[in-house]
Amino acid sequence: MPIIFILVIIVLGVLLYKMLGQSEKAYAYTRTMTITYRVDGTEQISKLEESGIAFITSKTVTIDGQPYLYKSTDKKKIQARLNYEGSHLKSINLSLPDGGEKYFYVDRISSVKDVMRH
């Protein structure tokens, strides 16, 4: 009987460790750029001053409550790309359903107060 309790404690400890190890990082975006492609092949670029928060986990990025996959073994399922400059995340690129792209330019935040400064 004590062996069962020890095994249950070990299993719960491993599960707790995995849950805590999958922490998400928060980034604030302050501007966006959308690129759409017209029928004649030309690009239309629109830049907006938008702000919000993007949450990044080990495989997804969540923007405005919508999760986008950026890591997958199936390349066709990837919806986002993270663009780094050195070790710092500079932008998040989303693939739009119409074939366009939307860029979110980000800064790392550590608290909600950081978002209000942007």
Domain coordinates of the chain in residue numbers?
Answer: 24-117
pTM value > 0.85: no
| 50-70 residue pLDDT tens | 888 888 888 899 998 899 999
Residue 81 has what pLDDT? 94
Mean residue pLDDT across the chain: 82
CATH 2.60.40 fits 24-117, yes or no: no
Q: How confident is the model over 74-81, as a mean pLDDT? A: 87
| 7-55 residue pLDDT tens | 888 888 777 766 666 677 888 888 899 998 888 888 889 998 888 888 8
Whether residue 37 contacts residue 25, with contact meaning beta carbons closer than 8 Å, is answered with no
How do 43-48 and 80-85 pair as beta strands? Answer: unpaired
